[in-house]
Structure 1
């Protein structure tokens, strides 16, 4: 009998990584490798967690400029310098960082254009599973660490599981009429870095579980 799942897995893992980075994040590589080593599973996308700045140009998700991406904790100067370079590149003048006293510049505009978002995003894994039984076993392991783990798609050939970390922070820090002040940005970075540390700690706990059982319960 032809094994469609194994063929799809083989074909998928041979494809070039289409992520912006072009490779699996170092902090999640061993997790991905362990999952992919098992006959009933393969990862279709992954991210260890990251902190990003992006400018939304319209309501369409694909119309945005990536200003800054880092798969680690960030510093205040990294964020401000990235914003300055972005504004310079687009011939826009902004005094950065703003001081708290400049109250007149801290009112949000109504436009959805030119919104700059600061986002701290957690670990995310999308895993193709051979069947429902395989998916359930993976979820049983994942939910020991991550609450946000569940089935997001079922076909006659595979079941898709999504695993997402719990720590997340997303907010606008600038638009056409507004830019966040220095104190606000520093507080954002503080909370984002704390979240990033906790996300990494949970990822390491998840990896320890996978190493310990080598997913024998889902092999």
Structure 2
């Protein structure tokens, strides 16, 4: 078994250059930036990708066809019902879905011990779907994921299958999930430095 990552410093330097470009191009979720900065300040870790979680309305030819899907609305925060109805109003063809996705971070670790420490911390803070995603001499990668998720079909080919009242209810549920996973991200941000002790 591989216990450490070769050329960790070189990989981290390249990842930080990529993150700097993404920040300059405003391609990083703003509310996760403080957590990314804290992780990347640690000697034995660096982030390779991240999403702070989102609510979205998506039009897709059929479920699972991400390649040909179209975002009608996407928010990395709680949403107002009016925003959701505005996105739904743009639906013309294919299936219409209301989706919630929990945060996801990919973090490279220097050693297997470092990866296990991050994994245990993450799971302990409520990121129950976290795992060690890759194990090799080239990469030790931890995926930090939570459990919050919704996949709700709303209609097809311009026809709505559900009432406005129902949509209001699922928006309230989605916003509750967002509050929950944003709280977990904040706890991880507050406690991440324990990995250096």
Whether these two folds match at TM > 0.5 is yes
Give the deviation of 1:178 after TM superposition: 4.5
Alignment of 1:204-215 (within 5 A): 204-211=186-193, 213=194, 215=195
- Please name the residue that 1:12 is paired with: 15
Counterparts of residues 48-63 of structure 1 (less than 5 Å): 48-58=52-62, 59-63=64-68
CA-CA distance at 1:184 after TM superposition: 1.4
Query: What residue ranges of structure 2 are gaps of 5+ in the alignment?
Result: 1-5
Whole-Å separation in 2 of the counterparts to 1:130 and 1:60: 36
Whether the 8 Å CA contact 2:55–2:100 is kept in 1: the answer is: yes
Instruction: Verify: 1:23 aligned to 2:27, yes or no.
Output: yes
- Over alpha carbons, which structure has the higher Rg? 1
TM-score by length of 1: 0.77
Greater than 4 Å deviation, 4+ residue runs: none
What 5-or-longer segments of structure 1 have no aligned partner? Answer: 93-112
> What is the root-mean-square deviation in Å for CA atoms of aligned residues?
2.0
Helix, strand or coil at the partner of 2:165: helix
Matches within 5 A, 1:63-142: 63-84=68-89, 86-87=90-91, 92=92, 114-142=94-122
CA distance in 1, matches of 2:28, 2:16: 12
Q: Is 2:99 aligned against 1:152?
A: no
Q: CA deviation at 1:60?
A: 3.2
1:79 and 1:195 mapped to 2: Cα distance? 16
Instruction: Choose which of 161, 167, 170 in structure 1 pairs with 2:148.
Output: 167
- DSSP 3-state at the match of 2:147: coil
TM-score normalised by length of structure 2: 0.85
